[in-house]
Amino acid sequence: MPIRKLDELIEVVKSQGKKKRLIAAWANDSHTIGAIYNAMDNNLVDAVLVGDEGAIRKTCEENGFDVSRVTIVTAPSDVKAAEKAVAMINAGEGEILMKGLVSTDKYMRAILDKEKGLMPSPNAVLSHVTVIETPRYPKLIVCGDVAVIPLPDLKQKTAILNYLVATAKALGIDRPKVAVLAASEQVLPKMEACVDAAILSKMGERGQIKGGAIIDGPLALDVAIDKESVEIKGITGEVAGDADCILFPNIESGNVFYKTNTKLAGAELGALVFGAKVPCILSSRGDSTKTKLYSIALGALMAK
């Protein structure tokens, strides 16, 4: 049975057996440590906190966290902490990476470092996948890229598509339905989003995208997720009105989509960065407690 709610995701990860180890980079602050303790309370992961040991102990003490439940690894600075966390992942000491109080660009730089980073190959594409639970849609929406790649080209879109499909499959959807989004469902050669969507959907038809997904595009958002619009517009195909995954043509559309859902429609989400050797969590302080928990759960689900 596919997972249809993010709380179900927590239950599935709990029942997975051996817990995955999460390594958090520069995890000195209460936001990061709080999220990790919440995840540990839910039996999702074991954790290593890389950072300033004094600060970590102080934060735990102030918040009433039992410091013996985590492993602390000392690092003198945010950059060093990110490097150390990445090195530990490379040494097989953890299966999930998480960002602490280090800035996103320093965190990403440690992941992307050609020699000591986490990229499996020089051509690998690092991209962000978001899983959204929104009240008026009957299932989860797996979408990207809302945060990392500004304007993906065809090759990057193919990589994003693969990550979306892999995530949807891990959520129990055997043949994920992927909508490649554009402003219209017609192929308008002047709009690159339409052109790439047509190309990707044909690649899907030809079996060039692995994972057995059903890919259709271009589809506008209404015909991707709303059956009534599909009927009115007379769109055919298995994806229209019933998408599991949405591939956005650019970061602006993706970003507006997820923020509209969370800020105006009461949606919840979990998110991960894909393309590195392990799932990487890119939570920000602005994320809700639930989002952080769901992101860690998603990381535990996707970790090998």
Residues of this chain that bind another protein (CB under 8 A): 154-155, 185-187, 189, 195, 198-199, 201-203, 205-206, 208, 218, 234-237
Residue with smaller CB distance to another protein, 50 or 198: 198
Residue with smaller CB distance to another protein, 14 or 233: 233
Distance in Å from the first CA to the final CA of the chain: 21
Residue with smaller CB distance to another protein, 182 or 280: 182
Residue bearing tokens 């650019």: 250
Give least dist CB 280 to another protein, A: 28
Half-sphere exposure of 6 (CA within 13 A, CB side): 23
Give least dist CB 237 to another protein, A: 8
Give least dist CB 120 to another protein, A: 22
Give least dist CB 223 to another protein, A: 11
Question: The sheet that has 141-144: what strands, in order across it?
Answer: 71-74, 45-51, 20-25, 96-99, 280-281, 268-274, 127-133, 141-144, 245-247, 177-181, 214-219
Residue 72 in tokens? 């602390």
Taking CA atoms, 54 is separated from 84, 103, 132, 238, 243, in Å, by 17, 20, 37, 56, 48
Residue 142 in tokens? 């797996």
Residue with smaller CB distance to another protein, 48 or 180: 180
Peptide bond into 145 cis (omega under 30): yes
CB contact set of 124 (below 8 Å; sequence gap of 6+): 159, 275, 276
45-51 and 71-74 beta bridge pairing: parallel
Residue with smaller CB distance to another protein, 63 or 208: 208
Give least dist CB 111 to another protein, A: 27
Residue with smaller CB distance to another protein, 173 or 194: 194
Give least dist CB 201 to another protein, A: 6
